[in-house]
């Protein structure tokens, strides 16, 4: 018997949204294969919530779904997440902001 659910998932992974691959190509970033369909891991910066600290803006890791705070926040957990895991692509979690950022190529996407 064929399992149509898992077939759909494979097709999804092999064909990321066409708009997204164009954006990565134009940005000169080759890390689209690190981008997955992730669910944000928390309602706020994971680490700041743990230590009861505050953040300015939130960033979402598109490889694993980690939520961290931006470089304007004193803890800079999103950047720290990249340094410890090597996950290169983040998205802004701010309402209305659609940009992505590649830490490796240091380009907006
Ligand atoms: Zn890149
Ligand atoms: Zn934080
Ligand atoms: Zn990550």
Give per-residue pLDDT as tens, 11-67: 444 445 568 899 999 999 999 999 999 999 999 999 999 999 999 999 999 999 999
Q: Which ligand is nearest to the CA of 80?
A: 2
Global pTM value: 0.82
4-108: CATH topology is Herpes Virus-1 (3.30.40)
Long-range contacts of 20-25 (CB under 8 A, 24+ apart): 23/100, 23/109, 24/109
Phi, psi of 59 (to 5 degrees): -125, 145
Give per-residue pLDDT as tens, 62-93: 999 999 999 999 999 999 999 999 999 999 99
- 30 Cα to the center of ligand 1, angstroms: 5
CA angle 105, 43, 68 (to 5 degrees): 30
The 3-class secondary structure across the chain, one letter per residue, is CCCHHHHHHHHHHHCCCHHHHHHHHHHCCCCHHHCCCCCCCCCCCHHHHHHCCCCCCEEEECCCCCEEECCCCCCCHHHHHHHHHCCCEEEECCCCCCCEEECCCCEEC
- 55 Cα to the center of ligand 1, angstroms: 25
CB-based neighbours (< 5 A) of ligand 1, an ion: 29, 31, 102, 104-105
How many whole angstroms from its chain centre is CA 100? 7
């Amino acid at each position: 018997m064929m399992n149509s659910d898992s077939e759909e998932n494979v097709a999804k992974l092999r064909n990321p949204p066409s708009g997204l691959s164009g954006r990565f190509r134009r940005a000169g970033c080759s890390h689209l294969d690190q981008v997955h369909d992730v669910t944000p891991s928390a309602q706020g910066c994971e680490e700041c919530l743990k230590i009861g600290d505050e953040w300015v803006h939130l960033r979402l890791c598109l490889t694993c779904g980690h939520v961290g705070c931006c470089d304007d926040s004193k803890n800079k957990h999103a950047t720290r997440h990249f340094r410890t895991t090597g996950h290169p692509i983040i998205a802004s979690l701010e309402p209305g902001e659609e940009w992505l950022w590649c830490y490796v190529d240091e380009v907006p996407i």
